[in-house]
Amino acid sequence: MTNSTYTIPFTSVIGELGLSEAHGLMKFSAKTGLVLEFQVKDAIIGIIKSAVKEIQLDWEDIVDFQIKKKWFSVTVTIRVNKMSIFEELPSTKSAEFDAKIKKEDYEKVRNLQSSLLLILSEKKIERLESMNED
C-alpha cells in the first residue's frame, strides 16, 4: 500500500445558477482515504455562507476518479456509489462531484489519482480473494 499524502486546493460551482462556490481542500492519505474539506462562499461578493464542512469518502464508496486537463485549469470528477454522500454539495450531478484544480497542481493530482486507483484495486483484489475463500 502507498504511503503518499496529498493536499490539493479546489473550487466548485454550487447550485443551479452558480451563485455560490465551494472553496476547499482535497486531502488524501493511504490511512485516512479521501477527504473533501470545504466552505461555501457567495460567488459574486465572496461572503462566507457556511461553516467549514468535511466529507469523508470511504474506499467502498468511490467508483471513479477522473482528471480532465484544459488550457487553464484541471477538472477532477469523483464518482461515488451513493447520492447521499454529496448531499452537502447541492451542485452534484447524482453521485458525481466536479472540482476545479489549478494547473500548477496537475502533477500532484495525477499522483493522487495513481495512489487512489492503486488502493482501490488492492481493495477489490482483497474482496475477490475473500469471496474465493468462502
Domain ranges of the chain: 5-125
Give the C-alpha separation, 99 to 116, whole Å: 16
At 66-84, the pLDDT tens digits run 999 988 889 999 999 988 8
pLDDT band at 92, cuts 50/70/90? low
Give percent above pLDDT 90 in the chain: 44
Cβ 41 vs Cβ 31: under 8 Å: no
User: Residues 6 or more apart from 66 whose CB is under 8 A from it?
Assistant: 76, 77, 79
Give the C-alpha separation, 94 to 98, whole Å: 11
CATH architecture of 5-125: Roll (2.30)
Higher pLDDT among residues 42 and 126, named by residue:
126
Higher pLDDT among residues 3 and 60, named by residue:
60
